[in-house]
Amino acid sequence: MKFVDETEIRVEAGKGGDGCVSFRREKYIPMGGPDGGDGGDGGSVYLLGDSNLNTLVDLRFTRRFKAENGQQGMGRNMTGKKGDELVVRVPVGTQIFDTDTDELLGDIVADEQRILVAQGGFHGLGNTRYKSSTNRAPRQFTRGTPGEARNLRLELKVLADVGLVGLPNAGKSTFIRAVSAARPKVADYPFTTLYPNLGVVRLEAHRSFVVADIPGLIEGAAEGAGLGIQFLRHISRTRLLLHLVDVAPFDETDPVESVRTIEHELAKFSDELVRRERWLVLNKLDLLPEESREERMRDIIARLDWHGPVFRISAIGAEGTSELTGRIMSRLEELAELAKSEAAHGVHHEE
């Protein structure tokens, strides 16, 4: 199951520089001929595929991109400097639409692929160009043409890097709200999340990942109960699973049994999925008395015989979430480097 990450931006190419009207004026040459140079071309705007990016989140903070104008021509037949082109990096898989015409301008399908989205203006001509045997002192020149300007809609079909699993009310939607700009509805009853919520967690410029709040798995999901089978299929494409557990459920169910229920559903769907890297996230610590909190945590981990990473958080107060997202980002970068290395050596893993 793919999600669409979408944003709109405006791109403006640079204007071409105007041509110059000038005449040579030097000592002993009082009536020199025309020497006005041409202007420089305006800079164009390109979109460039970057395999290190996986979301369009950075483009939500900068919406307008303008390339440099060309410099005007000068006397002594000096041509104006060309405007610098502007390159905007986008994830591989980005489709580019003209918002005003709804035309598909291009599709970034490879790393380092460049697509021209706004052509720079053409340079103006200086008066030297108009010199002829009958026009010795031309005053004609042309102005540079404006650069193209376009409103673009960028669409990226993304697969989540991190999948959240857990029983209904484990706090997955609250976790998404705590770590990203996504605002899923949160209510205190089972089956709150009927459709997957997608959150982009942005740590800094060009360092972000996509987390999918998979609707609460219920017993029978692997057999196709509700929409469970679709969501399980989607989870199978993520690189890391976070298993959220409510450590203080209102109905006093055993958190260990809750974990076992999810593991059972994952195992029924795919043996490989059970072996997927999964981190245990013990949520809702704020609901436990401080004096018994640590003992409760140790008891859950011991009874689960859990040997992987364990994190203790309170999503509603964003307590412990910064450390967790930082560790996730580092791990995803490690996995990406590992995948590149394996691809370079011809190693292939079946999903």
Per-residue pLDDT, 171 = 83
Per-residue pLDDT, 28 = 76
Question: The domain 159-344 belongs to what CATH superfamily?
Answer: P-loop containing nucleotide triphosphate hydrolases (3.40.50.300)
- Residues whose CB falls within 8 Å of the CB of residue 271, separated by 6 or more in sequence, listed in order: none
Domains 3-157 and 159-344 share a fold: no
133-147, 204-218, 271-285 — which one is most confidently predicted on average?
Answer: 133-147
What average pLDDT is seen over the chain? 83
Model confidence, pTM: 0.61
- CB–CB of 236/270 below 8 Å? yes
Domain boundaries, the chain: 3-157, 159-344
Question: The domain 3-157 belongs to what CATH superfamily?
Answer: GTP1/OBG domain (2.70.210.12)
182 falls in which pLDDT band (50, 70, 90)?
A: low
Assess whether pLDDT exceeds 50 at residue 193.
no
Assess whether pLDDT exceeds 70 at residue 189.
no
- How much helix, strand and coil, in percent to the nearest 5, is found in the chain? 25, 25, 50
Percentage of the chain lying above the pLDDT 70 cut = 84
**Which residues pair with residue 104 across a beta bridge?**
97
Assess whether pLDDT exceeds 50 at residue 222.
no
Q: Dump the DSSP string for 29-87.
A: BTT--B-PPP-PPPPPEEEEEETT---SGGGGT--EEEPPPPPPPBTTTBPPPPPPPEE
pLDDT digits (tens, 9 = 90+) for 286-297: 888 888 888 989
Per-residue pLDDT, 149 = 97
